[in-house]
């Protein structure tokens, strides 16, 4: 096995182990395990970016910085569900979304009516829901973050990123071309964050909250993997 293949295999094993440990910790309520496993996933992705031969130095810098911000977000969100930590986490992930959007823009992605309209509509609906019954610093920060996430999701869905991809219902259909994974990754990220809001503001059942937490972590880790794989794919 070549060195490159060995490193790629090691990355997948390490990321898989971190992901499995994180999801298991959510199912069992083992918070100490999650504090170890969830932060371990992002450094593996950063190593994947640093090793990629398909990225220009400036692109590598953008993605590594984005993943550093994601790691900070994981740290804050893992410490507590209190509003103060949630604000810090959302701010960190907001930085990540901005850097992802800059990267996608540099790759030629542009907002289009077919992809932007449903995402902006969902963001507006979520922003309104978060202000009920009354506005708060958390709802304001999360509303801004939602706009940044919608921007990333809109750009990631641009078919121009994968010119030969099949498009169905305005959505790029994932295939063997890793560039087609970007739209699915961004959509999963949105679903994960939406589940966080639902769990935080609308669910009281501990069983449902636990199930949502498992979904949040599973979809988050899958989305990061798909996004990084898509952004490091050969043009």
Higher pLDDT: 115 or 63? It is 63
Distance CA 174, CA 167 (A): 9
The 10s digit of each residue's pLDDT in 89-132 is: 999 999 999 999 999 999 999 999 888 899 988 888 888 877 76
Residue 181: which of 163, 157, 160 has the closest Cα?
157
Residues 6+ apart with CB under 8 A from 5: none
Answer yes or no: are the C-beta atoms of 170 and 155 closer than 8 Å: no
Residues 6+ apart with CB under 8 A from 215: 192, 195
pLDDT of residue 133: 59
| Model confidence band, residue 1 (pLDDT cutoffs 50, 70, 90) | low
Higher pLDDT: 154 or 122? It is 154
pLDDT of residue 49: 95
In sequence order, what E strands does the chain have?
167-168, 171-172
If one counts the domains in the chain, the total is 1
Residue 164: which of 219, 106, 99, 233 has the closest Cα?
233
| Model confidence band, residue 27 (pLDDT cutoffs 50, 70, 90) | confident
pLDDT of residue 90: 93
At residue 167, what are phi and psi to the nearest 5 degrees?
A: -115, 130
pLDDT of residue 108: 94
Residue 221: which of 9, 14, 4 has the closest Cα?
14
Q: How large is the average pLDDT for residues 165-176? A: 89
Q: Which domain does 171 fall in, by range?
A: 3-232
Answer yes or no: are the C-beta atoms of 129 and 141 closer than 8 Å: no
pLDDT of residue 127: 80
Q: How large is the average pLDDT for residues 22-47? A: 89
The 10s digit of each residue's pLDDT in 180-215 is: 999 999 999 999 999 988 888 788 898 899 899 999
Answer yes or no: are the C-beta atoms of 41 and 221 closer than 8 Å: yes
Higher pLDDT: 162 or 3? It is 162
Q: How large is the average pLDDT for residues 8-25? A: 92
Distance CA 102, CA 217 (A): 25
pLDDT of residue 136: 78
Q: Calculate the average pLDDT of the chain.
A: 90
pLDDT of residue 180: 96
pLDDT of residue 134: 65
Percent of the chain at pLDDT > 70 equals 97
DSSP 132: S
């Amino acid at each position: 096995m070549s060195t490159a293949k060995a490193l790629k295999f090691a990355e997948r094993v390490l990321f898989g182990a971190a992901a499995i440990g994180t999801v298991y910790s959510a199912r069992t309520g083992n918070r100490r395990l999650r504090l170890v496993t969830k932060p371990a996933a992002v450094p593996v992705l950063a190593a994947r970016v640093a090793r990629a031969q398909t990225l220009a130095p400036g692109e590598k810098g953008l993605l590594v910085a984005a993943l550093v911000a994601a790691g900070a977000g994981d740290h804050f969100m893992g410490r507590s569900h209190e509003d103060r930590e949630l604000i810090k986490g959302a701010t960190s992930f907001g930085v990540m979304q901005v850097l992802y959007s800059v990267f996608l823009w540099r790759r030629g992605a542009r907002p289009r009516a077919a992809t932007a309209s449903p995402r902006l509509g969902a963001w507006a609906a979520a922003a309104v829901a978060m202000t009920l019954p009354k506005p708060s610093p958390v709802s304001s920060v999360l509303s801004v973050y939602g706009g940044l996430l919608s921007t990333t999701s809109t750009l990631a869905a641009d078919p121009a990123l994968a010119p030969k991809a099949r498009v169905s219902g305005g959505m790029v259909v994932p295939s063997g071309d890793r560039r087609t994974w970007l739209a699915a990754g961004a959509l999963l990220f949105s679903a994960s964050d939406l589940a966080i809001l639902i769990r935080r503001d609308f669910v009281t059942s501990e069983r449902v909250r636990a199930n949502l937490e498992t979904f949040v972590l599973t979809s988050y880790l899958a989305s990061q993997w798909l996004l990084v794989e898509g952004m490091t794919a050969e043009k």
